[in-house]
Amino acid sequence: QQKVQQSPESLIVPEGGMASLNCTSSDRNVDYFWWYRQHSGKSPKMLMSIFSNGEKEEGRFTVHLNKASLHTSLHIRDSQPSDSALYLCAASPPSSFSKLVFGQGTSLSVVP
Amino acid sequence: EAAVTQSPRNKVTVTGGNVTLSCRQTNSHNYMYWYRQDTGHGLRLIHYSYGAGNLQIGDVPDGYKATRTTQEDFFLLLELASPSQTSLYFCASSGTGGDSYEQYFGPGTRLTVL
C-alpha cells in the first residue's frame, strides 16, 4: 500500500484549461510536501514545496496544503502543452527532510 | 544549477551478474540518494547517505548494497542481479536547510536483467 496516494492516475486537459492534481499521505508522521515534475525521458525536477497550512503561488502554479487531513493539491492554470508530464508528490517527516516518500504520480496531458 | 551525473546510462546484464552503478555530484551536497522508478510505483528510495562513509537504509533495500566513498561519489551495487531489479535508477543529491533540501536528480541509468 502506497503511503502517498495521488489522484487521478492520469488527466487530460485542454490547452488554456485548469489542471488539478491531488495527493494524500496515509502516514500521519509527515509534515512537509514537495511536488516534482518529470517530462518524458527526463529526470524529475522540483516544482514547488509547501511546509505550512494554506496556499503558495508561483506563476501559473498554486499549491494548497491541509495538514489536518495530510492533503495537498497542485493547480495549474492556463495549462500549456509543455506542462504535459508526470507529476510526483512527495512527503517527509519533520525529523528527516531528506527522506522523501513519493506517490505513484499523475500523468498530465495538455492537448491543443 | 546542481549537477549530478550517472554512469553507465544503459546496462544489460544476466541473472546472477554483478552490476555497479556510479553517481557523482559536484555541488558539495551532503546528501545523496539512490532511487528506482517503476511504472505505477513512482520513485522508491533504495539507500541514501549524508556523507562519506555513511549509509542509511531506504524503503526497498533488499538485494542492493551502496557505498559513499567521497563527498562526491555514491555507488549502488547489485551483487546477484535478478530480473525483478530491471528498472530505471536515479541518483540524487541535496543540501540541508530550507530550500536546500530540494533534491537534484541525475539523468538515470536504465538497467535490464535478463
Question: SS in 3 state form for B23-39?
Answer: EEECCCCCEEEEEEEEC
Mean pLDDT per segment of 10 residues, for chain B of length 114 residues? 90 97 94 94 94 94 97 96 97 80 94 97
Distance from CA of A56 to the nearest CA of B (A): 14
Q: Find residues 17-36 of chain A whose CB sits inside 8 Å of chain B.
A: 34
What's the gap in Å between the CA of B15 and the closest CA on chain A?
26
pLDDT band with cut points at 50, 70 and 90 for residue A29: confident
Q: What angle do CA B24, B84, A34 make, to 5 degrees?
A: 50
What is d(CA B53, CA B67) in angstroms, rounded to the nearest whole number?
7
A2 to chain B: which residues are within 8 Å by CB? 41-42
A contacts of B106 (beta carbons < 8 Å): 43
Give A35-88 pLDDT, tens digit per residue.
999 999 999 999 999 988 999 999 999 999 999 999 999 999 999 999 999 999
Indicate which of A100, A101, A107 best probes the interface with B, i.e. most B CBs within 10 Å of its own CB: A100
